[in-house]
Amino acid sequence: YLERRVDGFRGPMAIEKFSGGQSNPTFCITAESGTYVLRRQPPGDLLKSAHAVDREFRVMAALRDTGVPVPRVLHLCEDREVIGSLFYVMEFCDGRIFWDAAIPEVERAERSAIYDEMVRVLAALHQVDVDDVGLADYGKPGNYFERQYGRWSSQYRASELQRIEPMETLMTWLDGNIPADDGRVTLVHGDYRLDNMIFARDAATAIALLDWELSTLGHPFADLGYYCMQLRMPQNVGNMSGLRGKDLAALGIPDEKSCVASYCERMGIDRIDNFSFYVAFSFFRLAAIVQGVAKRAVEGNASSEQAAELGQFVHPIASMALEAVAEGENGR
């Protein structure tokens, strides 16, 4: 199948599953013609609009000639009869993925440069002209947070296994504090964090931004809030690594205030009001995603063996969101 559809592809091939990828199983294909990556939907019944590997393929194809580093996508298969689900094939990017947010394997100066590069790429993403790259219809413009709140609230309820009080409090607060639409509409990644990026082997340069499943047209501050969320999270929440309790200054990692200031400078804006909302919203959405993975694990069709353990994190994630809310209300 691949020899007929991927230019230059030659078998035989071996396939090995990557350990990451809670949502869409991802595989390394080693063939006679080289190394490739295959990403597919998980088996079983799927939530509406979830696991949209076809959207991932489309957005990475559109960004190929922009300032946003993405892998070269090679083929999208929409025929579920081939392997049982939609899948796509892309190039294998040979670089470094940092799973620990503290990046202990590099020196302080390079660590600072890596985090600065993340802000640079985020600003580049939010400056992409969606009309020029053919993504003007990639999402609904306007009222982004209102629509996202409705979507993730519904998905959370559909995946709910038990009542979690901090999540109930958080959802009530968010519902009453959604900011008025300010007209900003950009392409947003939706899962912008360190371990979704591949860096060059010999430089603090991003060569690929991965995992575009949650990308859409939306409000850029959602991505920035999600990025800053990692600064507030503990060391391990499922497969995510956070920096809570770390000495950021000693590590050379910019704190939240510095990250926001650097982003604003690159975007040409003065400041971001009520930033705690964007952080709290990011925690809420993460909690809803984690709950969905836990529900799929209970039903027996999650991608990772660790997925069943993720449900325990919904309570602390929601609690961290409420902590950000309290800090914002206290002017911190």
Reported as a single tens digit per residue, the pLDDT across 159-201 is 988 899 999 999 999 999 999 999 999 999 999 999 999 999 9
7 Rama class: left (phi>0) / alpha (psi -120 to 50) / beta: beta
3-state helix, strand, coil split of the chain in percent (to 5) is 40, 15, 45
For the entire predicted model, the pTM comes to: 0.89
- Look-up: residue for tokens 């400078």? 265
Distance CA 81, CA 75 (A): 16
SS3 226: helix
For residues 71-81, give the mean pLDDT: 95
Distance CA 294, CA 211 (A): 19
Distance CA 288, CA 280 (A): 13
Distance CA 139, CA 268 (A): 24
State how beta strands 186-188 and 34-40 pair: unpaired
Reported as a single tens digit per residue, the pLDDT across 123-173 is 999 999 999 999 999 998 888 999 999 999 999 999 988 899 999 999 999
- Nearest CA among 289, 284, 321 for reference residue 307: 289
Is residue 39 within 8 A of residue 29, CB to CB? The reply is: no
